[in-house]
Amino acid sequence: MKILVLCYEYPPVGGGGGRVAASVAEGLVQSGHEVCVISAGLRHLPREIVVNGVRVIRPESFRKREDTCSVPEMALYLLTAFFPAWKICRSWKPDVIHAHFVVPTGALAFALHFLTRIPYVLTAHLGDVPGGVPEQTDSLFRVLGPFIQPIWKKAASVTAVSGFVGDLAAKNCGVRAKVILNGVPMIAAPVVVKAGNPPRILMLGRLSVQKNPLLAVRALAQIQDLPWHFEVIGEGPLGASMKELVHSCGLADRVTFSGWLAAEGVSKRLELADVLLMTSSSEGLPMAGIEALKHGLAIAGSRIGGLSDVIEHDVNGLFSDLTPEDFAKSLRTILGDRERLEGMRRASIQKASAFNLPDRVKDYEDTLREAASRL
């Protein structure tokens, strides 16, 4: 098949959703398909490049930063990507369009389908559904809801990256989505599970309000009597506040801020860690959680729907309410018993098999092939 992928965030632009799109696109190429991606361009990135067999086209989007995107910048992506995408549809003649993110990318897929009749498949991420990230998107959905509904309706098929996102799509959008979990390549060699001395706790991701990093520090301040070391990988608007709180709580000698790391560096840190700390207020299906399973980390996570696919309570981790006291209680439970910690880590390795990337790519391949047959 010839597959045109539309994704306004594609590495190095964006976060976990873009990495999902890239892993699927590259997996489809490995399965023998031709894949072209149209994503947002930034001035320091090449306008066209081939990455791991995937042709990536980046029209100038006037986006200012790789890691964040405002609503006006999303709209600019639609405007600047439309003519390059239409040109590809007319000259290359893809069999199917795969649009990651209903908002904003789904609007581009809808317009191209209207003009060319090429069927499109939507992949919904957390921010695409009302109730997913209510503090950020609910006001937007109140305004744009009637305009978004036709995008769902005209799709040949809809997939969701987690059961939680699928449930929200059904409840709030009236859409039945096929759940295809995010996938990662598994580690070929057996993972050796042995708790560190002291145990190492990791936080991975953008230091934003959604990730709740200050709660993590407040929880750790309540278990200073236990041995542990905490490493933070990532940056963001709350980074400075987090560092200030670490110092004020007297934790400076037990916390390392590593900033953003390349994938290889993140993987090495995961190999050394014991526990992934996820204090997020909302998640779809976080890639950090899946990577933690793959490397055999126990997970201390928020009691939110988006983590239900990666945490089995009291088996490979613990759920906590969004309070420092409850997270401190969970961490004390995990860290206070070395055998229990190692048992949770082994359970994470077993759970990781559900996210095997080749299996998930095959799910997308089947869905796209079925949609293409409707052309």
DSSP string spanning 249-311?
TT-GGGEEEEE---HHHHHHHHHH-SEEEE--S--SS-HHHHHHHHTT-EEEEES-GGGTTT-
Whether 80 and 109 share a structural domain: yes
- Inter-residue contact 231 to 200 (CB < 8 Å): yes
- Residues 282-309, mean pLDDT to the nearest whole number: 93
Judged on CB neighbours under 10 Å (0-12, 13-18, 19+), 356 is middle
DSSP string spanning 91-108?
HT--SEEEEE-IIIIIHH
Whether 30 and 175 share a structural domain: yes
In three-state secondary structure terms, 60 is strand
pLDDT per residue over 199-239, tens digit each? 999 999 889 998 999 999 999 999 999 999 999 999 999 99
Asked whether residue 188 is domain-assigned, the answer is: no
Question: What is the chain's length?
Answer: 375
Whether 338 and 363 share a structural domain: no
Residue 115: pLDDT band by 50, 70, 90 thresholds?
Answer: very high
Round to whole Å and give the CA distance between 175 and 362: 22
Whether 166 and 257 share a structural domain: no
**Residue ranges making up the domain that contains 70:** 2-183+356-372
Whether 139 and 174 share a structural domain: yes
Asked whether residue 292 is domain-assigned, the answer is: yes
- Our count of domains for the chain comes to 2
In the numeric block, the tokens 């990791």 are attached to: 202
Of the listed ranges 136-150, 153-167, 223-237, 296-310, the one predicted with least confidence: 136-150
Whether 149 and 216 share a structural domain: no
Whether 209 and 335 share a structural domain: yes
Residue 244: pLDDT band by 50, 70, 90 thresholds?
Answer: very high
pLDDT per residue over 151-195, tens digit each? 999 999 999 999 999 999 999 889 999 999 988 888 876 777 888
pLDDT higher than 90, residue 81: yes
| Sequence-separated (6 or more) residues with CB below 8 Å from residue 312 | 347, 351
Whether 161 and 13 share a structural domain: yes
In the numeric block, the tokens 């995008």 are attached to: 151
> Is the omega angle on the peptide bond into residue 104 within 30 degrees of 0, that is, cis?
yes
Round to whole Å and give the CA distance between 153 and 108: 14
Whether 278 and 292 share a structural domain: yes
Whether 170 and 211 share a structural domain: no
Whether 163 and 14 share a structural domain: yes
pLDDT per residue over 353-363, tens digit each? 999 999 999 99
Q: What is the 3-state secondary structure (H, E, C) of 135-195?
A: HHHHHHHHHHHHHHHHHHHHCCEEEECCHHHHHHHHHHHCCCCEECCCCECCCCCCCCCCC
- Note the pLDDT of residue 296: 96
